[in-house]
Amino acid sequence: MTCATVSLFPSSTVLNQDIFLEGVLQGQVSYQSPIYVELQNGVGVPITPTSSTLVGNTLTATLATPTPSGVVLQFPNPSQGVSYRNYDTGWRAQNSWYAYTPPTYPAKYAQLDTTAGANSWYRLKTALTVNGVSSTQRFVDLSGVQGWAALNNLNVAVLDKLTGLMITRTPASSGGGSANWQAQFNTAASYSVVINGNTYSDWYLCGLSELAAIWGTYAGTTNFVDPFSGLTIMNSNYSRICLADATANNSSYVCQGYSALAANGGIYLEMNTNVTTNYYFYVHDARNLIS
């Protein structure tokens, strides 16, 4: 509980009286004029005290101390604001998919554990909870551990406790043909799967910002492995991962191709009209699963 104290002290004249808040002079009011006390939070919203007492010339108001709750996650920002197709990154940005308001009084912060050095990408500074399981493991399945068992479809998706994103572990494929890019957006948007007894819908093609947030510079490696557990998070060794970003409204493009060349130590983006197999990862907003 927090107390706010307002005190009245007569000035050297009988025409005005001083107003003090927590012992600090705030100004003066006319003698015998009514004094009104209004309490507000930091954004101007009125606060109702749990109790108040007036003893002599001191008014004491007791305020409730907020109970910390929720986690501040590092949910990514959109990598594009302009939309060229339904369900692309720009479409999601315009439809508030990326809108994120962190808790006002958070209990925890999702941060990487920088003391882990080169392996800090895989560990959190503070233990976070999924499905009742609390750990500093960043990447888990929806049971809260690194099991990814076939039972209950737990092998379908990875939950990233740093960002609040969930991503499919095995990408969809265009099957070796130049499948229409819009058709891939539509397929992702209609995707629905039951994992651990719960149905998850509202999936979208992975965009550049989500890809960077989850994989970072590890994209394109043969296996995305947690160095602490030795378990494979997902296989990301795909020559062309098509993303939900675009640079032009050109229907001849199969996708905004993403190529990860681990041998060259980097990644690059390209527009392409190729007819070889293209791969598509789906992402889901899973912030509500983390506490």
Q: Which of these ranges, 14-23, 122-131, 241-250, 253-262, has the smallest mean pLDDT?
A: 253-262
Q: What is the spatial distance between Cα 67 and Cα 231, in angstroms, rounded to a whole number?
A: 37
Helix, strand and coil content of the chain, in percent to the nearest 5, comes to: 15, 35, 50
Would residue 87 be called left, alpha or beta, if left means φ above 0 and alpha means ψ between -120 and 50 degrees?
Answer: left
18 phi, psi to nearest 5 deg: -80, 150
208 phi, psi to nearest 5 deg: -60, -45
pLDDT for 50: 83
Query: What CA–CA distances, in Å, run from 56 to 3, 6, 7, 60, 270?
Result: 17, 11, 9, 11, 76
pLDDT for 56: 78
Report yes or no: 85 and 204 within 8 Å, Cβ to Cβ: no
213 phi, psi to nearest 5 deg: -70, -35
The answer to whether residue 122 scores a pLDDT higher than 90 is yes
pLDDT digit string (tens) for 229-252? 999 998 766 667 778 887 665 555
pLDDT digit string (tens) for 174-223? 654 445 677 888 999 999 999 999 999 999 999 889 988 998 877 656 67
Q: How many CB atoms lie within 10 A of CB 141?
A: 25
Q: What is the spatial distance between Cα 20 and Cα 8, in angstroms, rounded to a whole number?
A: 6
The answer to whether residue 113 scores a pLDDT higher than 90 is yes
Report yes or no: 242 and 255 within 8 Å, Cβ to Cβ: yes
And the tokens for 262?
């681990």
pLDDT for 178: 46
- What percent of the chain clears pLDDT 90, i.e. is strictly above it? 44
The predicted model scores a pTM of 0.78
pLDDT digit string (tens) for 56-95? 778 788 877 778 899 999 999 998 898 888 999 999 999 9
Report yes or no: 170 and 71 within 8 Å, Cβ to Cβ: no
And the tokens for 4?
């706010």
Nearest CA to 74 among 132, 115, 145, 125?
A: 125
